[in-house]
Amino acid sequence: MASIVSLHDGVRDLVRDGDVVAMEGFTHLIPFAAGHEIIRQGRRDLTLVRMTPDVIYDQLIGAGCARKLVFSWGGNPGVGSLHRFRDAVQNDWPVPLEIEEHSHAGMANRYVAGASGLPFAVLRGYTGTDLVRHTENIKTVTCPFTGEVLTAVPPVNPDVAIIHAQRADRSGTVQMWGITGVQKEAVLAAKRSLVTVEEIVDELTPVPGGVVLPSWVVTAVAEVPGGAAPSYAQGYYERDNDAYKAWDAVGRDRDTFTTWLSDTLGVGARA
């Protein structure tokens, strides 16, 4: 059964230096507050996994928390590039960043394999692309019935998955709705999980489109109202599009970013 914890304690207990960490949320319900707490607690050498590394991963990368990024699309949605991500890939700042890149279909199926306890997933994907030449984690498998050659990808099984959801009950059963992306798979694929929620309630009333993660597959739940901002939490608050646009100028310059890190999260430059 899940423990109800503070965000500080959840990150302290569940996220360790060197861990493979998957923070998911497809535009919606992005666990920003948890990401900031990881930066505050100064985690290092993380392998960060995420289909769509956006501003939160730009911040983690810029703060020097990551040594590797596994992803399928890295950008500031609706705005442009991730400058901290670019700076790390192109210039090793603040630390070198190894990358392993996939397609969305490939990453989604890697989580599915992870959640399913399988050593690989099969898909029609990547065929003919140069992605295949740059990762060992894309292979082929032959259909035993037709002889057709398909693509295989290995599971993602993070040490810890971190997601944000709308609600949990006091037992730690989690409920989310709206666009729920690959979050269920991420939690089920992970060894441990931390779920931040807008609120903890006495009873979870069913809602249309609701996805429930029972308490017994969740490690810890922390109540963090606004924990997905500046992304959005359907039913709670809207996406702060201005914050995404404003990030472009902050992320573009190392000094501006370092100042932001210090002013916003109280963290000195470490790298």
Partner 1 sequence: MTTAPETTEVTWTSDEMMSVAASRALGGVTACFVGIGLPSTAANLARRTHAPDLVLVYESGTLGSKPDGLPLSIGDGALAQTADAVVSVPEIFNYWLQPGRIDVGFLGAAQIDRYANINTTVIGTDYADPKVRLPGAGGAPEIAASCGEVIVVVRQSARSFVDRVDFVTSVGYGRGKGDRERLGLCGRGPSRVITDKGILEPDPDTCELTLTSLHPGVTVREARESIGWDLRVSRDLVTTPPPTGEELTVLRGLTDPKGSK
Structure tokens at 255: 């000094």
Both tokens assigned to 89: 């890939």
| Nearest distance, CB of residue 129 and a second copy, angstroms | 18
- Please give the Cα distance from 28 to 220 (Å, whole number): 21
143 binds, among a second copy, partner 1, none (CB under 5 to 8 A by kind): a second copy
Angle at 27 between CA 21 and CA 31, to 5 degrees: 40
List 109, 193, 219, 258, residue binding partner 1 (CB under 8 A): 109
144 interacts with, out of a second copy, partner 1, none, CB within 5 to 8 A per kind: a second copy
Task: Find out whether 225 and 201 touch, Cβ atoms under 8 Å.
Answer: no
Phi, psi of 41 (to 5 degrees): -85, 0
Q: Where are the alpha helices (DSSP H) in 78-137?
A: 83-91, 104-116
- 101 contact choice in a second copy, partner 1, none (CB below 5 to 8 Å, kind-dependent): partner 1
Q: In the set 140, 142, 241, 264, which binds partner 1 (CB under 8 A)?
A: 241
Strand order in the sheet with 121-123: 121-123, 149-153, 139-142
Mask: binding to a second copy, 174-213, rule CB under 8 A, as x and -?
--------------------------------xxxxx---
Contacts with partner 1, residue ranges (CB under 8 A)? 1, 26-28, 51-52, 71-75, 77-78, 81-82, 85-86, 89-90, 101-105, 108-109, 111-112, 115-118, 123-131, 134, 148-149, 173, 178-182, 184-185, 188, 209, 211-214, 216-217, 232, 234, 238-239, 241
